[in-house]
Amino acid sequence: MELYIDTANLDEIKQAADLGVLDGVTTNPSLIAKEKIDYGKRLAEICAIVKGPVSAEVIAVEYSAMLQEGRERAKIASNIVVKLPSTVDGLKACKALSDEGIKTNMTLCFQGLQAMMVAKAGAFLVSPFIGRLDDIGQEGMDLIHQIRTIYDNYGFKTKILAASIRHTEHMLRCALAGADVATVPFKVIMDCMKHPLTDIGVEKFLSDYKKAFG
């Protein structure tokens, strides 16, 4: 499974990139608002650090404005992926941008049929939001399974980018379900390498060795 970091914070992106296993970055208007920095400027900074796909979301909600904004975002760097909402206007913009050779990430996907439609429109990525479905009492993971089945049934090439991941259990279950990519907050990335028995084991190896050899 590919690993993206879900943040617009440069320190977090640098630390995650330093791990050597980071494949890309996703941003959104809420994440950029936390950074209080011009969105285009921050995207250029991120693309200078990470060579894999960097998702840049449009603020526009209407088709022609989305197209214009998407084309502008795509000029920032060759690894920009234009992120569009999974709405009717977003679907049309996805088709138009994909036909122009601009990669898209269709975000805010909450049902399998949205994922099927955006795949038909040529989306590079689809972003099902697991945590937000859990928040309303649904089983977010079911959506990943549904989309995996639909895409495998018909050979769609769109990658499933599991989003709204809140903890390592989500991430583990995405890997088991065959999500192509998970976009994950910095803390959860770091949590992937934590286990109390690992820490206890390292300490024990070290103390045994010191006891024997000083």
Cα separation of 27 and 8, whole Å?
A: 6
User: β-strand 2-6 against 24-26: which pairing, if any?
Assistant: parallel
In 15-157, at which residue ranges do the beta strands (DSSP E only) sit? 24-26, 54-57, 80-85, 104-109, 125-128
The SS3 assignment for 126 reads strand
Which of 14, 51, 83, 95 is flagged as catalytic?
83
The SS3 assignment for 20 reads coil
Cα separation of 25 and 52, whole Å?
A: 8
Sketch the per residue contact string, 76 through 115, with ligand G3P: x for CB under 6 A, - otherwise: ----------------------------------------
- The residue whose two tokens read 């693309």 is 47
Residue among 190, 183, 199 nearest 50 (CA)? 183
Nearer to ligand G3P, 96 or 144 (CB): 144
Q: Which tokens is 141 given?
A: 């993971």
Nearer to ligand G3P, 84 or 96 (CB): 84
- Between residue 13 and residue 72, which ones bind ligand G3P under the rule CB under 6 A? 26, 28
Burial class (CB in 10 A: 0-12, 13-18, 19+), 24: buried
Nearer to ligand G3P, 63 or 110 (CB): 110
Nearer to ligand G3P, 66 or 182 (CB): 182
Nearer to ligand G3P, 24 or 122 (CB): 24
Sketch the per residue contact string, 133 through 172, with ligand G3P: x for CB under 6 A, - otherwise: ------------------------------xx--------
Cα separation of 145 and 176, whole Å?
A: 10
Listed ranges 35-43, 62-70, 126-134, 202-210: which one lies at the site for ligand G3P (CB under 6 A): 126-134
Q: Is 6 in the site for ligand G3P (CB under 6 A)?
A: yes
Q: Is 132 in the site for ligand G3P (CB under 6 A)?
A: yes
For residue 177, the tally of other CB atoms under 10 A from its CB is 19
CB of 83 to ligand G3P, least distance (A): 9
* 83 is annotated as an active-site residue: yes
CB of 55 to ligand G3P, least distance (A): 8
Would you name the residues annotated as active-site residues?
83
Binding positions for ligand G3P, rule: CB under 6 A: 6, 26, 28, 127, 129, 131-132, 163-164, 183
